[in-house]
Amino acid sequence: MPLDTGTSPGTVNNPATRAGSARLELRPRQFAPCVLFALAGLFNPTTAISQDDGGAYVSPLRMEDEYFNAIDRVEGEYGPYASELSDLYLGLGQALLNTEDYEQALDAFHRGVLVVRVNSGPNSPEQINYLYLIANVLTLLGESGEAEGILRNIHFINWNHYGKENPELLPALERMYEWFLMARPPGSAVADDDDYKAMVQLAEEMAYVSETTRGLSHPDTATAYRRLGEAEFQLARHIIETDEEAFILVGVDPRQVSTDAQAIARKRYDAGRRAFAKHLEALSANPENSTLDQARARIELGDWFLVFGKSRTARRYYEEAYQAFAQSEENAQLADRLLGEPMPVYFFDPTATLSEQAKAALQDIRLDISMTVTRSGEPRRVEFPDPPPSLSEEDLDLIERQVREMTFRPAMREGKVVSTEDFIWRYDIGAGVADSG
């Protein structure tokens, strides 16, 4: 987007009145499988009207035909805006989705919105479920701009209904945030600049509303600031990755990026740093949070500084976390597990794997990678002690380049960050997981 908080809901266009010939050629298979799978989870498979069991009777009509007949009966008896029609249009739209008739499903949801607005008002929250379904269908059809307009409507309706500083607004904002995570996953081909900015804006609103209405020490406030840090990281990474003069995957000091992207990325970096600092502050303000919770937050804040080249500051937070763990024997053992060996900093992107450009034949390979991890988290002297014969020199070169571009959380010994030589990173290419040994 980003979301325009001053936008009124406006009109919901009837798709039947728009030029739709080109849209009819767009099928869901044109989207990435992960996006289709996520969108499928956004649709509610249950129909809007409860059906009697009916014993062994099987209707000769298709489900959508039954809805059409019911709509005709209700319209004939009560008129075109009878309140009962809203549920009927919802059920009709969902039945049409099951047959992949997306154009007619879209029309049914639009008509349901119109009925709700006539009966409950133009800003009524009862229409929100319909609007989400419309946004989902538009996304499947490749109409991203129209889907974003629907989300702007939803945003305005929520603000108008709850007010801008009401804790009841938080679930509505979270639902919008989750929609972007599922429909426009960060790092996917369908996510654009406006999607990343919208996620940051929603995360900012959740953090603000939670702290304003519930206080800094509330658990939800700590969670909200952590989510804001994640969103800021995704935006900063997107800015750096899409800059024409920058060739990185993740974890580069913004000072190394070209001028325009540098200023924007540094702004996002500063915003993310503040968000993680507030996350730690919120955890510290709650006496119910354990030392372990606060230590983990310090590690995450250290990771944030590390991936953006601030290794000295990162080491300070790692050392503070280690000292917090050391206060008890049980936590000291946990410190050794979390900080005793180098660990790759995927930083909220656990799906990142080295096999993204690898051949399908390599998906079941477990690879040992030897390296030296410096105190700054840089992998050096990357080698493959015993590579499987199925990996070609070209494959190994690709993996080596990708490993060198990664950031590793350095190991700690007796509370101090140290370099680690001959570190073995065991990577399961197929599963996309790794551990150390």
Per-residue model confidence (pLDDT) at position 364: 58
Per-residue model confidence (pLDDT) at position 33: 39
User: Per-residue pLDDT averaged across 154-163, rounded?
Assistant: 94
Residue 289 has pLDDT above 50, yes or no: yes
Which range has the worst mean pLDDT, 121-135, 379-393, 419-433?
Answer: 419-433
Banded pLDDT at 2 (limits 50, 70, 90): low
Which range has the worst mean pLDDT, 135-139, 161-165, 168-172, 261-265?
Answer: 261-265
Tell me the fold of 348-436.
3.30.1150
Residue 51 has pLDDT above 50, yes or no: no
The structure's pTM equals: 0.70
Distances 434 to 278, 352, 429, 437 between C-alpha atoms, Å: 30, 11, 8, 10
Which range has the worst mean pLDDT, 61-70, 104-113, 242-251?
Answer: 242-251
287: left (phi > 0), else alpha (psi -120 to 50), else beta? alpha
Does residue 9 contact residue 122 with C-beta atoms inside 8 Å? Answer: yes
* Residue 234 one-letter amino acid: Q
Distances 318 to 311, 409, 437 between C-alpha atoms, Å: 10, 9, 21
Per-residue model confidence (pLDDT) at position 12: 53
pLDDT in tens, 315-348: 999 999 988 888 777 777 778 878 889 988 865 4
Written as six digits, the tokens of 368 are: 């040992």
Residue 302 has pLDDT above 60, yes or no: yes
Angle at 297 between CA 421 and CA 379, to 5 degrees: 20
pLDDT in tens, 73-115: 999 999 999 999 999 999 999 999 999 999 999 999 999 999 9
Written as six digits, the tokens of 178 are: 């989750």
Residue 69 has pLDDT above 60, yes or no: yes
pLDDT in tens, 169-188: 999 999 999 999 998 888 78
Residue 63 has pLDDT above 70, yes or no: yes
* Residue 379 one-letter amino acid: P
Per-residue model confidence (pLDDT) at position 38: 43
Which range has the worst mean pLDDT, 277-281, 324-328, 414-418?
Answer: 324-328
By C-alpha distance, which of 161, 271, 259 is closest to 225?
A: 271
Q: Is 165 exposed, middle or buried (0-12, 13-18, 19+ CB in 10 A)?
A: exposed
Residues of the chain with CATH 1.25.40.10: 15-339
pLDDT in tens, 348-404: 443 334 444 444 445 556 789 999 999 999 999 999 998 888 888 888 888 888 888
Does residue 140 contact residue 31 with C-beta atoms inside 8 Å? Answer: yes
By C-alpha distance, which of 127, 101, 98 is closest to 114?
A: 127
CATH node for 15-339: 1.25.40.10
Per-residue model confidence (pLDDT) at position 415: 86
User: Per-residue pLDDT averaged across 299-314, rounded?
Assistant: 87
Distances 401 to 239, 248, 344, 432 between C-alpha atoms, Å: 21, 11, 15, 17
By C-alpha distance, which of 155, 134, 206, 125 is closest to 8?
A: 155
Per-residue model confidence (pLDDT) at position 325: 84
pLDDT > 70 in the chain, percent:
75
- Contact residues for 202 (Cβ-Cβ < 8 A; gap 6+): 3, 173, 176, 177, 180, 231
Per-residue model confidence (pLDDT) at position 103: 94
Per-residue model confidence (pLDDT) at position 262: 67
Per-residue model confidence (pLDDT) at position 56: 43
By C-alpha distance, which of 234, 432, 239 is closest to 347?
A: 234
- 325-346 burial: b if 16+ Cβ within 10 Å, else e: beeeeebeeebeebbbbbbbbb
Backbone angles phi, psi at 125, to 5 degrees: -70, -15
User: Per-residue pLDDT averaged across 195-221, rounded?
Assistant: 95
Angle at 198 between CA 195 and CA 203, to 5 degrees: 130
- Contact residues for 408 (Cβ-Cβ < 8 A; gap 6+): 342, 343, 344, 345, 373, 377, 378, 379
Per-residue model confidence (pLDDT) at position 108: 96
Does residue 413 contact residue 399 with C-beta atoms inside 8 Å? Answer: no
- Residue 354 neighbours by CB distance under 10 Å: 21
pLDDT in tens, 4-48: 554 444 555 543 333 332 222 222 323 333 434 344 444 543 333
Residues of the chain with CATH 3.30.1150: 348-436
> Looking up tokens 């794997």, which residue turns up?
353
